[in-house]
Structure 1
């Protein structure tokens, strides 16, 4: 298993981690199987989505904010980040990606994203485990 750390710079952002995941699979020597990618936080998720048009990421984050606004008068969580927890549960904390011939099986426009919902933060982390 490989664990990676990253720093986020915005309150909500999506960081393309596809290269790190591919590097982990190469390092682990997995030729055929699956890669499990997992966020190690309750306010940051993992998703597979389009990585060609940056407007998709902008729209993605905007729409999540519309569904889960940061402040809600009925939220009771003392840290004030209930929206981040809801976004993470909606997006999910884990993705499973097929591996064939040592490469991640992703569509032409797909990338793997670490989704920050409670940033900016230092030393965010995610784990990658290849299974053959």
Structure 2
């Protein structure tokens, strides 16, 4: 039996559009692989009230479909009360419904995800010069 270990890393990125899905799979997998965790969990968390984290297929048509559905469900041009102080209520509401985190298993030192599941930061109020994603891997380590 190994030791319990926790590794926390931060991914930094910038976004280019108001609404955008950014594939962060490679960066998250790198953190999991370099963590030394053999079996455990990997938390992917966006510490932002106007961004979200999802797992889905990286196919350009589907990404546009997801962006279209987000725009349809959370339209910008509504009389949101929050817009009296900041014109981004739609982004806050969308983040609340989509979710700011994702937990994936780590098995035999590798991040476990489905064949068609990539990890995305969903930018809901861009463009932003600085977005962060916190990746925390915890579990049994061979160290």
How many positions carry a matched residue from both structures?
A: 131
Do residues 50 (structure 1) and 42 (structure 2) align? no
Q: For the Cα contact (< 8 Å) 1:71–1:80, is it kept in 2?
A: no
Pick the structure with greater CA Rg: 2
Gaps of 5+ in 2: 1-7
Deviation per residue, 1:72-93 (Å, 9 max, x gap): 1243431110000011111100
| TM-superposed deviation, 1:104 | 1.1
Q: Which residue of 2 aligns with 1:109?
A: 116
| TM-superposed deviation, 1:121 | 0.3
The structure 1 residue matched to 2:40, chosen from 33, 37, 41, is 33
Q: Which residue of 2 aligns with 1:5?
A: 12
TM-score (norm 1): 0.95
TM-score (norm 2): 0.88
Q: Which residue of 2 aligns with 1:97?
A: 104
Gaps of 5+ in 1: none
Q: For the Cα contact (< 8 Å) 1:25–1:102, is it kept in 2?
A: yes
Do residues 63 (structure 1) and 69 (structure 2) align? yes
Do residues 20 (structure 1) and 4 (structure 2) align? no
